[in-house]
Amino acid sequence: MNMQQSQLTVSNAMPTHQGRLINTNYGLINRSRMNNNDSMIDQKRRAILGGTAAAIAGLTIAPGVFLTETAHAKPVDEAISSKTRWGILIDTNNCNDCNDCVTACEEENGWGSGSEDEQNSRPDQKAQWIRTVKVTDKKTGYAKTLPMMCQHCEHPPCVDVCPTGASFKREDGIVLVDKHICIGCRYCMMACPYKARSFIHETLTDQRSYAPRGKGTVESCTMCVHRVDNGENPACVDACSSSMTFGDLNDPDSDISKELERHGGTQIRADLRLNPGVRYQGLNF
Ligand code: SF4
Ligand code: SF4
């Protein structure tokens, strides 16, 4: 399989498989550990955070949109359990390239056509939480289109390289960016083999309270964490009539697990051993 349009690259940063629990605005989460230099990097993080903490307090990223609104995605006192591993299964056999998933994400999270902002950025600079890519079999020329977004890796290199801890993975496998402490260094963009992250170049005024965004920070698919924590499907899944299934990969009785058991699934760039939470069917060529 040749990921021609997505131009996937291999990151030099390979993750470790350990984790630690940290209580944050998102609840009790598991931040993947970085490496043996962890304590040194933690010191740097504390220095950065110590220097910016006063400035962070009370910051808004747009009129009426407070950074602390991210806390609404999950009650602070409610721990998120690693018993659950949220995932999305995409059957490319049924994907007709209608773009409904992209449009739904834009509307739900207030980017692209769902926003009046980012009018001055080049097309390649604009937000891209989800996009469609074409994969081609080099031998036969057979091609398929599929939706590509943050793959919510079990071992996310974006988290490993983040110097401030802004990139983190929740206990339930959802990978997020904490806009409170993202300094916009874009290391995570370089580390992500799926090109899943975007950097905001412009001041934003038109955004959703539950999906705050901000100039100078990085963002990506949140798996619609605000909906998931409310017992709903991600917006893209609800918008797709035929090819997307959302559910708990750890629950053998969930629809997604049963479908994977019946027909199997493919991880994009499985060779990287990141164990993405997003799986695909119909790519066996
Ligand atoms: Fe991180 Fe998502 Fe990229 Fe995986 S796909 S490295 S979780 S941004
Ligand atoms: Fe972390 Fe990415 Fe923000 Fe840098 S740009 S602080 S790596 S989330």
Q: What is the pLDDT of residues 257-280, one digit of tens each?
A: 999 999 999 999 999 999 999 999
Distance 220 CA to ligand 2 centre (A): 11
Query: Which residues sit with their C-beta closer than 6 Å to ligand 1?
Result: 150-153, 156-158, 175, 192, 194, 196-197, 220, 274
Closest ligand 1 atom to Cα of 197: 8
Burial class for 256, CB neighbours closer than 10 Å (0-12, 13-18, 19+): buried
Of 16, 4, 13, which is closest to residue 193 (Cα–Cα)?
A: 13
C-alpha span between 62 and 80 (Å, rounded): 29
Ligand 1 pocket test: pick from 34, 177, 194 the residue with the most ligand atoms within 8 Å of its Cβ.
Answer: 194
Cα(158) to ligand 1 centroid in Å equals: 6
Cα dihedral 97, 102, 103, 104 sign: positive
- The span from the CA of 92 to the CA of 100, in Å, is 14
Predicted local confidence at residue 77, as pLDDT? 56
- 163 by Cβ neighbours in 10 Å (0-12 / 13-18 / 19+) ranks as middle
Contact (Cβ atoms closer than 8 angstroms) between residue 238 and residue 162: no
**Whose alpha carbon is nearest atom 6 of ligand 1?**
192
User: Looking at ligand 2, which residue's alpha carbon is closest to its atom 4?
Assistant: 185
- Tell me how long the chain is: 285
> Exposed (0-12), middle (13-18) or buried (19+): which is 221, by Cβ within 10 Å?
buried
Give the model confidence (pLDDT) of 193-244 as tens digits. 999 999 999 999 988 999 999 999 999 999 999 999 999 999 999 999 889 9
Q: In this predicted model, which residue has the larger pLDDT, 42 or 192? A: 192
Looking at domain 19-281, which CATH architecture does it have?
A: 2-Layer Sandwich (3.30)
Helix (H) or strand (E) holding 262: helix 255-263
Expressed in angstroms and rounded, the spacing between residue 135 Cα and the centre of ligand 2 is 29
Helix residue ranges per DSSP H, 140-224: 157-161, 187-191
- Give me ligand 2 centre to Cα 184, in Å: 5
Confidence of residue 16 (pLDDT cuts 50, 70, 90): very low
285: confidence class by pLDDT, cuts 50, 70, 90: low
Provide the percentage of residues in the chain whose pLDDT is more than 70.
72
Looking at the DSSP bridge assignments, the partners of residue 134 are 145
**Average pLDDT in the chain:** 79
Stated pTM of the model? 0.76
